[in-house]
Chain A
Amino acid sequence: MAMPEPTAPEGAAFRAYREEVRKEWLDYNGHLNDASYAIALTRAHELLLEHLGLSAGYRESHQASMFTVEMHLAYVAEVNAGQVLTAATRVVEADHKRLRLRSELYADGVLAATGECLYLHVDTVAGHTAPLPADRQSAVDALLTAHAGLRT
C-alpha cells in the first residue's frame, strides 16, 4: 500500500479550511465516506482558488473558470463524526493555463488523507482552455514561488 509519508503542518502552506465532519458525509459504519474526502478536498481547494481570485465571483466577472480534470486521493486514516477537518494546501505546479494543488487533510490534527487536483483554466463561453489573465497569473506564480520550498 503506497502510504504517503505523514508530514507535520508547515507554516507557509495555505490553511484556511476548517470544518466539522457533517453527519451526511458518513457511511453505514459511521466513518467518513470515500467520496466525502473529496468534498473536503475540493472545499479546501476552493478557498485557495478564492484567495487567488479564481472562484465563483471570477466565473461571473470573467466568463472563465477553473475546471478539475484530475483528482488523486490517498486515504490514510478513518475519520469519525464530530472531528474537525483542516487542510494544508500548496501550489505545486502551474503554467499559463494549468494549476496543480496538493493538500494534506487532517482530522483533529492527525493526517487523514493526501490529495491532489489538476485544474484547467477554461473560457466558459468559448468552451476551451484559455491563458490566465496577467493579474491572476501573477498571483498564481507568487504562491508557486512561496510554496516551492515546502515538501510535496
Chain B
Amino acid sequence: MSESPNRVTTPNEGRLAAVWDDRAEIAAPLRLHETTAPPEWMDYNGHMSESCYLLAFGDSADAFFRYIGIDEAYRAAGHSLYTSQTHLHHRREVALGEPLVMTLQVLDLDRRRVHIYHEMRHGETDDLIAMAEQLLVHVDMAAGRSDDMPADLHRHVAAIRDAHAVLPRPTVVGHPIAIRHDQ
C-alpha cells in the first residue's frame, strides 16, 4: 500500500509546515499534490484499488495541513486534524503510471471543524477521475476529544475559505449515498 513495508507514509512526511504569509495570494482551488499511479496501487484487474484513491487524497490533505501549519511538531504538541467523514465519488478508472493531479477546496469551517472538497484529474487530459468530500475535526489527542483550533490556524483556514468563495459549490457535496430512481 505504500513505499514503506511497515506503515502508511506520505510524500511530505517530515517536511516542516510552511510559514504563513497573510499577504500571499491563495490559489483557488489549492493545487498541492500530484503523483503517478504506482504498481502497489493496482488491483488484480490492473486498475487502481478503491482505497488508493483515498491514499492519494490523503496525501493532498497532508500537503494542505503543512500549508496551514500542521506538521509533525504541531502534532507532537498534542493536537491534530482528524478525518470524521469521507465521501468518495469514482468517475473513471486509473491505470498504472497515469499522472494524477489533486485539487483541494475549503468549503466551510467553524471553530473546530473544516469541510473540504477534493478533485483528482488526469494530469494530461484533465479528465475528472474522482472527487472526495471530507469533514475534518481539530482534536486534542491526549484528551481524545475535539478542541478549538488555535487562532492562527483558524485564521489561515478562514483565509483559504474566503479565497475559495469564488469557486462554484461542487454538485456532489452534501448528499447521502442513494440509488436515484430518476436516472
A48 to chain B, nearest CB (A): 15
Q: Say how far A129's CB is from chain B's closest CB, in angstroms.
A: 10
B128 CB-CB contact with A under 8 Å: no
Give the CA-CA distance A56 to B45 in the complex, in Å. Answer: 9
- Asked if B89 is an interface residue, CB under 8 A from chain A, the answer is yes
A42 near B51 with CB under 8 A, answer yes
Of A11-19, A28-36, A132-140, the one with at least 4 CB within 8 A of chain B = A28-36
Closest Cβ of chain B to A99, distance in Å, is 8
- A26-B7, A36-B51 are known contacts. Are A2 and B58 too (CB-CB below 8 A)? no
Known contacts being A1-B135, A34-B58, A35-B54, is A27 close to B8, with CB within 8 Å? yes
Q: Which of A6-65 contact B (CB under 8 A)?
A: 23-29, 33-36, 38-39, 42, 56, 59, 65
A104 within 8 A of B: no
- Kindly list chain B residues whose C-beta atoms are within 8 Å of the C-beta of A67: 90
In the complex, which residues of chain B have a beta carbon less than 8 angstroms from the beta carbon of A95?
A: 179, 181
B129 within 8 A of A: no
Bound-state Cα–Cα, A67 to B88, Å: 13
Q: Which of B78-86, B147-155, B160-168 contacts A (4 or more CB under 8 A)?
A: B78-86
Cβ-defined contact, B177 with A25, below 8 A:
no
**List of B residues within 8 angstroms of A141 by Cβ:** none
How many chain B residues touch A (CB < 8 A): the figure is: 38
Instruction: Quote the shortest CB–CB distance from A36 to chain B (angstroms).
Output: 7
Asked if A33 and B87 make an inter-chain contact with CB atoms under 8 angstroms apart, the answer reads no
Could you tell me the distance between the alpha carbons of A121 and B58 in the complex, rounded to whole angstroms?
A: 28
Tell me whether chain B's interface is mostly helix, strand or loop, or mixed: mixed
Instruction: Decide: A35 and B8 in contact? CB cutoff 8 A.
Output: yes
A24 touches B5 (CB 8 A): yes
Nearest neighbor of B131 in chain A, beta-carbon distance: A70
B87 A70 Cβ-Cβ under 8 A: yes
**Chain A interface, number of residues (Cβ within 8 angstroms):** 36
Report 30 cross-chain contacts, Cβ distance below 8 Å, ordered by A residue: A1-B113, A2-B135, A24-B6, A24-B7, A25-B8, A26-B7, A26-B8, A28-B7, A28-B13, A34-B58, A34-B83, A35-B8, A38-B51, A38-B86, A56-B44, A67-B90, A68-B50, A69-B89, A70-B87, A70-B90, A71-B50, A71-B88, A71-B90, A72-B176, A73-B86, A74-B84, A93-B178, A100-B177, A117-B177, A118-B177
Give 11 new A-B contacts, CB below 8 A, not counting A72-B85, A75-B84, A98-B179: A1-B135, A2-B135, A23-B7, A24-B5, A26-B8, A34-B54, A36-B8, A42-B50, A71-B50, A72-B88, A100-B178
B residues touching A (Cβ–Cβ < 8 Å)?
1-2, 4-9, 13, 44-45, 49-52, 54-55, 58, 72, 75, 82-90, 113, 135, 137, 146, 176-179, 181
By Cβ-Cβ distance, the 8 closest A-B pairs, closest first, are A35-B54, A38-B51, A33-B8, A71-B88, A35-B55, A39-B51, A72-B87, A26-B7
